[in-house]
Structure 1
Amino acid sequence: MFDAQARTPVHILLVEDNPGDVRLTVEALKEGKILVDLQVARDGVEALAILRREAPFEHAPRPDLILLDLNLPRMDGRQVLEIIKADAQLRYIPVVVLTTSAAEQDILQAYHLHANCYITKPVDLEQFIRVVKAIDNFWLTIVCLPQNS
């Protein structure tokens, strides 16, 4: 759990290729109680480069939480999730799958790959913002997360 009074930001990696969803997520997180440092990866390859601190991301902070879309260019979210959860340095970072797919197969596969939760993105603008705020509230004010390394 993070101290809402502390001014140390919580680092979130948003892996999302849709600029509209990125913009909505940024706006929703701005309204939260916690100071958030949001980094955006536009595809799975870039997400892994950020997580592994590869050039040009050598100084990227280790995220406290990952918001992961499944349908991404270059490397999809399922592959990214599998790699994260197989990596001893990354596996303890909570991964929230936030995607448009409500397919049972995608949900089962995400949990099989050890996603921490699966959320289907609402198409309604206000509902989408509510969902992001709920993620912020639950994962950043209620849940105890492991310390960043």
Structure 2
Amino acid sequence: MTRAWTLPMLFVLPGALVAAALILRGDPGGAVVPLLASVVLAGVHSPLVFPRSIGAAEAQRRSALDGRPVVYWRSGCRYCLRLRRRLGRAGRQLHWVDIWRDPAGAAVVRSANGGDETVPTVFVAGRPYVNPDPGWVREQLSRPA
């Protein structure tokens, strides 16, 4: 669980240190910019940007019932962030599995990608697609189950 927050913390800590140094020098107004920038960067690269993750087994069960795709992702992955951002509100309809929080999800991704944890890996009807176009993923949501 802490692995998913490592990258966001690496953004916040330097910003906080710079802000603290500026405050100690008597420039509290100048401290706002680096602190705010680091918090925004941390937020964008955190699990908070993504819908609540579920376990791989639960995602596969739900996908079998409703036919919606399962997205395997991890925080800090720019391709996962691109997919999430370009899907917009439609992304909330997918089943999201954070492979850093779910070892079973990581195993599913490794088995689909020849041992690599390449994300985003999207499963549609049991078939894996690595780093698919967000428009194509959106189309899969409109297909009947």
Same fold (TM over 0.5): no
> Between Structure 1 and Structure 2, whose CA radius of gyration is higher?
2
Greater fraction helix: 2
Bin of the TM-score, shorter chain as denominator length: 0.3 to 0.5
Greater fraction strand: 1
